[in-house]
Amino acid sequence: MPTMKRRVDGVLLLDKPAGMTSNAALQRVKRLYQAAKAGHTGTLDPFATGLLPICLGEATKFAHTLLTADKTYRAVIRLGVRTTTGDPEGAVIATRPVAVTEPQVRALLPRFTGAIEQTPPMHSAIKRGGRPLYEYARQGLQLERQPRRVMVYRLELLELTGEYLGLLVHCGKGFYVRTLADELGEALGCGAHLHALTRLAVDGLRLEAATGLAELEAMPTPDRLQRLLPTDALLQALPRLELGAEAAWQLSQGQAIWHPGLRVGEQMRAYGPDGRFLGLVEVNEEGKAAPKRLVVRTPAQPDPTGT
């Protein structure tokens, strides 16, 4: 007998275990909550662990906002070994002796910090001719890729123990930590690959607040529901727009509204007079806050104007 689906709205901060795809983790969570809709905010590789925000119900409308958000990782790089994929899932293609010191590493880190050019790896989901690059890579093909401008806000040496190098990486969208590992290994003269990766933060969301999958499965349903953050947790980086009853109703009907202090092109999270989250708005060329994505509430709100 199929499981009955129900409406569940909110954001779960999941601590994804190693050895599981992001989609498999998503499906496990969706079943646990018996949710009708679910989505994640950007994949983690199967070997990687850490923060995977999962959106349920109405929160799926805003999952895209974290795809371009800043992210923070703890990376473990294995020196002396290069692989086909730049991570532990690939075949070894070269080994070299390692004689690296902490001063050498620290001297190189500024080269990979700030606004830099980075060439995406072949084993990535970037599309070419409608197909992700990793499909070509699996066929042994190497396609030309154009370097892209990416941002690294912070790159800090955590430890160097034998052949293993630990780094803290705070980066912007489009940055590949596996490429960093490969390029840093070449700069050090020994080669390297990304051995382990843990996502510590996505924008303002932190791993410390996340729940492991095994822990979540062991919980009774009420406790599991308590782990959900509200839908607007995905939008905390945006300014807050407070609306009166009439403006809130107009917005909920899809109308653009005027409000003092708006700037054309600005995106904001809108709230009604009762403090309830209404959705995402964007200021149009007329200087009005136009609905971009609104949450659906039930029962429907009455028209406060009485018309």
Catalytic positions are 45
Beta partners for residue 117, in sequence order: 149
Is residue 213 within 8 Å of 54, Cβ to Cβ? no
DSSP state of 270: E
Longest Cα–Cα distance of the chain, Å, equals 79
Mention every residue, 6+ apart, whose C-beta is less than 8 A from residue 290.
256, 281, 282, 283, 284
Is residue 241 within 8 Å of 290, Cβ to Cβ? no
Task: Give exposure, 126-162, as e/b (b: 16+ Cβ within 10 Å).
Answer: eeeeeeebeebbeeeeeeeeeeeebbbeebeeeebee
User: Rg (Cα) of the chain, in Å, rounded?
Assistant: 23
Is residue 64 within 8 Å of 171, Cβ to Cβ? no
Which two tokens mark 161?
Answer: 């123990």
How far apart, in Å, are the Cα atoms of 71 and each of 39, 169, 224, 232?
A: 18, 8, 26, 19
Is residue 99 within 8 Å of 190, Cβ to Cβ? yes
| Exposed / middle / buried, residue 172 (Cβ in 10 Å: 0-12, 13-18, 19+) | middle
Q: How close are the terminal C-alpha atoms of the chain, in Å?
A: 47
